[in-house]
Amino acid sequence: MKRIKNHIDELFKDIPRNNETEMVKQEIIENLEEKVFYLMDQGKEQEDAINKAIVEFGDIEDLKHELGVKEPAKKNMAKLNLEFSIWGSALIIAFFIFINLYYTPHTIWAIYPIFAILWWPLSMYFVWSRKKWGE
């Protein structure tokens, strides 16, 4: 039944350790072991019974809420994405301008891929502005 204990320990890794959580963990482990023994009495192999008990247990999101564990706030990556798109676009545009001027200086063709590349930071700007203004 070490596998059940390891599974429950993995589920509880983000929950702060205190007496209440340790008691809940022990109760869950005991219940799952009882379920395994019941399934083995019904004719299942031990490995199948353990797998079925773990699958039927599911996740512990409701339990986390009950124990008062708060989920970490999601970091707003919109500004970072905007900055990355601006720098990435600038480097790609500089590359196209260099290639255009170095290999075919009499034909200006770089404007076409540059126009397409500018949609990347423009779209990231709209994502950032939507997050910033709370829409």
Q: What would the pLDDT profile of 17-51 be if each residue is shown by its tens digit?
A: 888 888 888 888 899 889 889 988 988 888 888 88
Round to whole Å and give the CA distance between 79 and 50: 46
Q: What pLDDT sits at residue 135?
A: 53
pLDDT of the residue at 63: 72
Are the C-beta atoms of residues 41 and 47 closer than 8 Å to each other? no
d(CA 44, CA 2): 18
pTM higher than 0.95, yes or no? no
Burial class (CB in 10 A: 0-12, 13-18, 19+), 63: middle
How many Cβ atoms are within 10 Å of 49's Cβ, its own excluded? 20
pLDDT digits (tens, 9 = 90+) for 38-89: 988 988 888 888 888 888 887 777 777 776 766 666 677 888 999 999 999 9
Helix (H, G, I), strand (E, B) or coil at 110: coil
* Residue-level pLDDT at 73: 63
pLDDT of residue 78: 86
